[in-house]
Structure 1
Amino acid sequence: MNCFRMVTSVAHTAAALPADADAETHPSQEKSSDTNYYERSLTVALLRARESTMRRFKKYVDERDLSLPQWRVLRALAEGEPLDAGTLCERCVILPPSLTRILRALAERGLTRQVDCADARRHMVALSDKGQALFDELVGASENSRREIYDAFGPEKMALLLDLLNELREITEALPEPD
């Protein structure tokens, strides 16, 4: 399972399952209270951590009338080289239909531009000067929020968390698809 399918699957599973159907809670854990049950649910913990973390960044992009997925695309393109849709989907954890809408919206605002490519089947996208200027405005605030989170959590714990999350992703991607 690829990265963006896993994220979507985890989010949809957490939202769709009834309270007593959370398979992430180990059977040996007692369900002494609903609060404890939800605090020990993998999908709920991942969703809560994502929401509380993303809230730190959302205020900056909201002020510039961007969505968080649009910001992720701008950030990926700001690395310098033009990218194709497949690479953007993978790096930004965005499904292809959503990326199409995002790229259209960014192009309409003059934030991205098409880049000629020798392979006519590939559509390469890059930041426009206006897109680069917007990125430059936002990146400082974004980095401050990221640094604030890292400092509060601690660099060692953050490194361990990222390693464990990447390992979890690799393991779950290697598992057979559920029936």
Structure 2
Amino acid sequence: MTKTQPSLTLSLLQAREAAMAFFRPLLNEHELTEQQWRVIRILHQQGELESHQLAHLACILKPSMTGVLSRLERDGLVCRRKGVEDQRRVFVTLTDTGQTCFESMRAGMEANYRKIQMQFGEDKLDQLMSLLNELKRIEP
């Protein structure tokens, strides 16, 4: 019997789950899904984005992004507007409530990152981030 390679994709998913275990309690406390938090965080960092750019950066499929944005808009956390010259273009930005939500979660999220860093080690975490950034740049 030949030995199979360890599964890169499965290992990445398992590592993601291990990392998310630190963050899910805070997300649940604020009644946010992981996808909603990714959108809030990206909009906080980037400012207004076109919905397709936001979907790409947040790793959310466009059909799913529609539902995520609808719920965030319903809750007053984001605002969508159509492009002036092209009505098909949709731009998304955080509202003041969305900014406040981000700020109210920032300290807790940073504390969770510190917990991971303490357990995993700063050098190893830096190395992991560097390797993951390299992996993101490879072409199929």
Scaled by the length of structure 2, what TM-score is found? 0.87
Q: CA deviation at 1:114?
A: 2.1
Compare 74-83 and 62-71 and name the one that shifted more. Answer: 74-83
| Number of aligned residues | 138
| Structure 2: gaps spanning 5 or more residues | none
1:146 to 113, 121, 125: 113
Q: Which amino acid in structure 1 is aligned with residue 32 of structure 2?
A: L
How far off its partner does 1:170 sit?
2.5
Which one is further off, 111-120 or 132-141? 111-120
For residue 125 of structure 1, give the secondary structure of its aligned residue in structure 2. strand
Aligned to 1:119: 85
1:105 corresponds to 2:48: no
Q: Which residue of 2 aligns with 1:54?
A: 20
Are residues 1:89 and 2:76 paired? no
Q: Partner residue of 1:130?
A: 97
> C-alpha separation between the residues in 2 aligned to 1:168 and 1:78?
25
From the superposition, tell whether residues 143 and 119 of structure 1 become closer, same or farther in structure 2 (CA, over 3 Å): farther
Cα distance, 1:83 vs. partner? Answer: 0.9
For structure 1, the 5+ residue unaligned runs are 1-21, 26-39
Give the match for residue 33 of structure 2.
67
Structure 1's consecutive aligned runs of 4 or more residues displaced over 3 angstroms after TM superposition are 115-119
- Once residues 89 and 115 of structure 1 are traced to their aligned partners in structure 2, the CA distance between those partners, rounded to angstroms, is 16
1:79 positional shift: 2.1
C-alpha distance in 1 between matches for 2:102 and 2:81: 19
Greater shift, 68-77 or 115-124, is seen at: 115-124
Q: Within 2, Cα distance between the matches of 1:95 and 1:119?
A: 25
- CA distance in structure 1 between the partners assigned to 2:55 and 2:12 by the alignment: 21
Q: Max radius of gyration: which structure?
A: 1
Is the CA contact 1:82–1:115 (under 8 Å) kept in the aligned structure 2?
Answer: no
CA deviations 1:103-157 (Å, max 9, x no partner) are 0010111111124643333111111111111111111111111122123222221
Q: CA RMSD in A?
A: 2.1
Return the TM-score normalized by structure 1: 0.70
Identity %: 36
* Pairing partner for 2:7 from 41, 47, 72: 41
Alignment partners' CA distance in 1, 2:95 and 2:137 = 35
Residue type at the aligned position of 2:79: R
What secondary structure, in the 3-state scheme, does the structure 2 residue paired with 1:44 have? helix
